[in-house]
Amino acid sequence: MKYSLLLDIARALLLARWKQTLVAAIGVTFSITMFIGLLSFMSGLNDLLDGLILNRTPHIRLYNDVKASGKQPVDLAAEYNGYYNFVHSVKPKNRRQEIYNNTPIIAKLKSDAAVSGVAPKIVAQVFYNIGVVSLTGIINGIDPQEENRLFRFQDYVTGGNYQDLIHVPNSIILGKGVAEKMLADIGDVIQITTPKGARIQLKVVGYFESGLQEIDKIQSYASIGTTQKLLGESDIYITDIQIKLKDLSLAPELARQYEKLFDVDAIDIQTANSQYETGSSIRSLISYSVGITLLIVAGFGIYNILNMMIYEKMDSIAILKATGFSGRDVNRIFTAIALSIGIFGGALGLAFGFGLSVIIDHIPFNTPSLPTIKTYPINYSLKYYLIGGMFSVLTTYLAGYFPSRKASRIDPVSIIRGK
């Protein structure tokens, strides 16, 4: 049978019950629209929440941890060789925080094909002086250019310019929480005290807001040179080496390799932030579950509508089969009807879903805890539109296939005799 004729018949059946057809198409359109809107919003929210930590965290961090020695003096004594020794209240050994030979280590890392960038860092514990009151804090000595390139540092500097750390001697970018406690404005000079008792005055050149208030109440940033001067250390003093990789999944394995190769402690981003990956996976799973449920419900709606259409068109089906149309032709007619509903409703749903995403993306979202976010986050990934489009066609095809299969097996003689 010619396909053009089958399509003409399918179109005639669609238009004969256009209200039912419209209801089915609206069901598909609504489901796809909500699927796209929900997935885009939830994915954007996941990217936002993960970015608060993951964008500020190196893929691998090299440092010297404070820990007890693996071997105690009694284990080294020859007379106790072969004995089991139990030592209580073991104290950490006196180990400097500085990474030795950090210059060749950094050079070696930069030549590694798996590494996209390396940023040295100094973590210094200090006291912020406010009159007679001292606040505990941390100053991160950084290379501003590398910190911005690898960790988008400028996105979190909400006041001043991060490059002033390079051009202004003895300068500091205060955490917003620290600045509010000290009532320090940009341009003011504050006093810092180290645990060794050394004092130095630093000029405030900016504010830093990470989105995590507890961090902003403690941490501040200065250049590596300023931090070395603050601590009274040489210009080769470095406590941390931050590594960004080209492939994040390689972090656990490379961390173990670097730990053995450079004789330092190493921690990878998956270990340091496992709770965020778990939360992101659960949120994505919930979003996909709700979205797919919407599509399945729409498929059942189309299935019921086509069932009713077949029941009401028994006479027409009997006449078609009596005039030479095969069961396969009848199957194709009703499958074409279902696919028409799915393609038309799905296309509208994709368009409306994009429109809904754009509307959400322009809704103001201002909160002190997330200073860099101005609107609700949206992820316009193409994969959500591909999944929505494919699923709308698949569900409507299945919703039309089973009723059409039933219609193809109808005996025209029994229907005409019954009438």
* pLDDT the model gives residue 413: 66
Cα distances (angstroms) measured from residue 145 to each of 120, 126, 207: 11, 24, 17
* Tens-place pLDDT, residues 106-141: 999 999 999 999 999 999 999 998 887 888 999 999
pLDDT digits (tens, 9 = 90+) for 44-103: 887 777 776 677 788 999 998 766 666 677 777 777 777 777 777 766 666 677 888 889
* pLDDT at residue 17, as a whole number: 67
Cβ count within 10 A of residue 386: 11
For the entire predicted model, the pTM comes to: 0.67
Reply yes or no on whether the pLDDT at 32 is more than 90: no
Angle, helices 18-54 vs 274-312, to 10°: value is 180
Q: Hey, what are 321's tokens?
A: 């089969």
> Of 274, 261, 395, which is closest to residue 341 (Cα–Cα)?
395
pLDDT greater than 90 at residue 352: yes
pLDDT band at 304 (very low <50, low <70, confident <90, very high): confident
- Map the chain to HEC letters: CCHHHHHHHHHHHHHHCHHHHHHHHHHHHHHHHHHHHHHHHHHHHHHHHHHHHHCCCCCEEEECCCCCCCCCHHHHCHHHCCCCCCCCCCCCCCCCCCCCCHHHHHHHHHCCCCEEEEEEEEEEEEEEEECCEEEEEEEEEECHHHHHHHHCHHHHEEEECCCHHHHCCCEEEEEHHHHHHHCCCCCCEEEEECCCCCEEEEEEEEEECCCCHHHHCCEEEEEHHHHHHHHCCCCCCCCEEEEEECCHHHHHHHHHHHHHHHCCEEEEHHHHCHHHHHHHHHHHHHHHHHHHHHHHHHHHHHHHHHHHHHHHCHHHHHHHHHCCCCHHHHHHHHHHHHHHHHHHHHHHHHHHHHHHHHHHHCCECCECCECCCCECCCCCCHHHHHHHHHHHHHHHHHHHHHHHHHHHCCCHHHHHHHC
Tell the burial category of 78 from Cβ atoms under 10 Å away from its Cβ (0-12, 13-18, 19+): exposed
Comparing 116-120, 322-326, 334-338, the range with the smallest average pLDDT is: 322-326
pLDDT score for 343? 86
Q: 376 or 66: whose pLDDT is higher? A: 376
Instruction: Spell out the residues 6+ positions from residue 136 whose beta carbon is closer than 8 angstroms to its own.
Output: 125, 127, 128, 218
In this model, does residue 240 exceed pLDDT 90?
yes
- Token pair belonging to 203: 């000029």
pLDDT of res. 30:
84
Average pLDDT, the chain: 82
Q: How many whole angstroms separate alpha carbon 320 and alpha carbon 314?
A: 10
Residue 3: pLDDT over 80:
no
392 vs 106, more confident:
106
Distance CA 351, CA 72 (A): 69
pLDDT in tens, 152-211: 888 888 888 999 999 999 999 999 889 988 889 999 999 999 888 888 999 999 999 877
Q: Residue 232: which pLDDT band, with cuts at 50, 70 and 90?
A: confident
Residue 237 CA to its chain's centroid (Å): 35
Q: Tens of pLDDT along 256-274?
A: 999 999 989 899 888 877 6
pLDDT of residue 93: 64
Q: At what angle do helices 327-361 and 382-408 cross, to 10 degrees?
A: 160
Reported as a pLDDT band with limits 50, 70 and 90, residue 293 is: confident
Instruction: Report d(CA 302, CA 345) in Å as an integer.
Output: 11
Residue 127 has what pLDDT? 92
Say how many residues make up the chain. Answer: 419
